[in-house]
Amino acid sequence: MSTYLRFIVSRMKERAIDLNKKGKDNKHPMYRRLVHSAVDVPAIQEKVNEGKYRSYEEFKADAQLLLHNTVIFYGDSEQADIARMLYKDTCHELDELQLCKNCFYLSNARPDNWFCYPCIPNHELVWAKMKGFGFWPAKVMQKEDNQVDVRFFGHHHQRAWIPSENIQDITVNVHRLHVKRSMGWKKACDELELHQRFLREGRFWKSKNEDRGEEEAESSISSTSNEQLKVTQEPRTKKGRRNQSVEPKKEEPEPETEAVSSSQEIPTMPQPIEKVSVSTQTKKLSASSPRMLHRSTQTTSDGVCQSMCHDKYTKIFNDFKDRMKSDHKRETERVVREALEKLRSEMEEEKRQAVNKAVANMQGEIDRKCKQVKEKCKEEFVEEIKKLATQHKQLISQTKKKQWCYNCEEEAMYHCCWNTSYCSIKCQQEHWHAEHKRTCRRKR
């Protein structure tokens, strides 16, 4: 359970950077009056690492307490909105965990071919068709009314709710589905074939820690069972009364053993080894002895043997537990480091996309404004040209309707003859004496 919760806590830390202010909040004078039980994401992570959670409800209760404290202390604010989103995401992660633990673990750990490993129980395989797409191989996650929640094979392993009428069994012939065999579809089918091969071979996912733990447990158990079998194979007396010895009480397994067996799938001991017990050894030794031992002496020897076996197994499982803790610590550090690198790369990519989008939008706005200004200037220029042309025509018309002095070209007032006029008497006299008296056509 702690392994699953570590994945959820790592995502909580990514989304709750602004909420990790417990030290500053404690110094506020109103904090102790408003908040009864202080909790934050680092405290939840510490409890997960120490294995203090016994159920998922306890983990969910702490997440809800974090939301409660944030709303009480900050009120309707940005921090409260972040806490609500954090609690909603945590509930979603817990729902996904309850839906299928194998899928939850593999989708977070992401080993090679993680989507191909069968789950326990196995998911139903179908052909699912989304709107606008063809049939695609998928796993059925859950069904609700007339909708089916599926996860598609392929590169992205996307989830979608598909109507039941768009679902076909995986045994249906591909030619009947009329699918477009693209590269993505072929890769998805290859992944489906690998998953089906794993199903036929009974090949389920096991981490390296689990495999190493199983080998060590098997080797320790087999070495102990060999010692016990050597004791039982000692020569017995042909005739003698069977010594009645008191059966020692079976001690309950230590919590360390129980914790290891719950987190790791250690195989059970073979059937012949289970039958060899400390009490059986004592019986066989007492039967081979020439004299009958006292009841109290037998009980003491049984307790000593049992204590030695118990100490041996305790040491084995303590060493195994320490190795598991160190492996989990390294794995957690690796996951956190990869998550930080992934988050950093995603933030850089989002930043670059945002800058490119802003620059593109600004350039488009500038081009649009320039186009509008050019069109407006062009329209004003055309209107001004039309206006000037009209004024020019009017001036020409007015000019043609006037008479002009033949001598100084000013506007004429005195008419002399058919094409001669003057602006003043002075101009008339000057022009008359100069030349007009020879060409004047006015009748006198």
Q: What pTM was computed for the model?
A: 0.42
pLDDT in tens, 77-94: 888 888 888 888 888 888
Q: 294: pLDDT confidence band, cut at 50, 70 and 90? A: very low
Which of 148-162, 285-299, 328-342, 343-357 bottoms out in mean pLDDT, i.e. has the lowest? Answer: 285-299
The pLDDT of 348-371, averaged and rounded, is 93
Residue 253 carries which DSSP code? P
Mean pLDDT, to the nearest integer, of 368-382? Answer: 94
Per the model's pLDDT, the better-predicted residue between 98 and 382 turns out to be 382
User: Which of 85 and 21 is assigned the larger pLDDT?
Assistant: 85
Q: Which residue has the higher pLDDT, 443 or 404?
A: 404
Per-residue pLDDT, 100: 86
Q: Over the stretch 129-142, which tens digit does the pLDDT of each residue have?
A: 888 888 889 999 88
As a whole number, mean pLDDT of residues 317-339 equals 89
Nearest in space to 13 (alpha carbons), one of 110, 93, 120, 68: 93
Q: What is the pLDDT of residue 307?
A: 65
Rounded alpha-carbon distances, angstroms, from residue 45 to 53, 57, 353: 11, 15, 33
Mean local confidence (pLDDT), 182-190: 88
State both tokens at 133.
């797409």
- The model's pLDDT over 149-183, given as tens digits with 9 standing for 90+, comes to 999 998 888 889 999 888 888 888 888 888 888 88
Q: In terms of C-beta density within 10 A (0-12 exposed, 13-18 middle, 19 or more buried), how is residue 280 classed?
A: middle
d(CA 135, CA 175): 11
Closest CA to 214 of 273, 263, 253, 277: 263
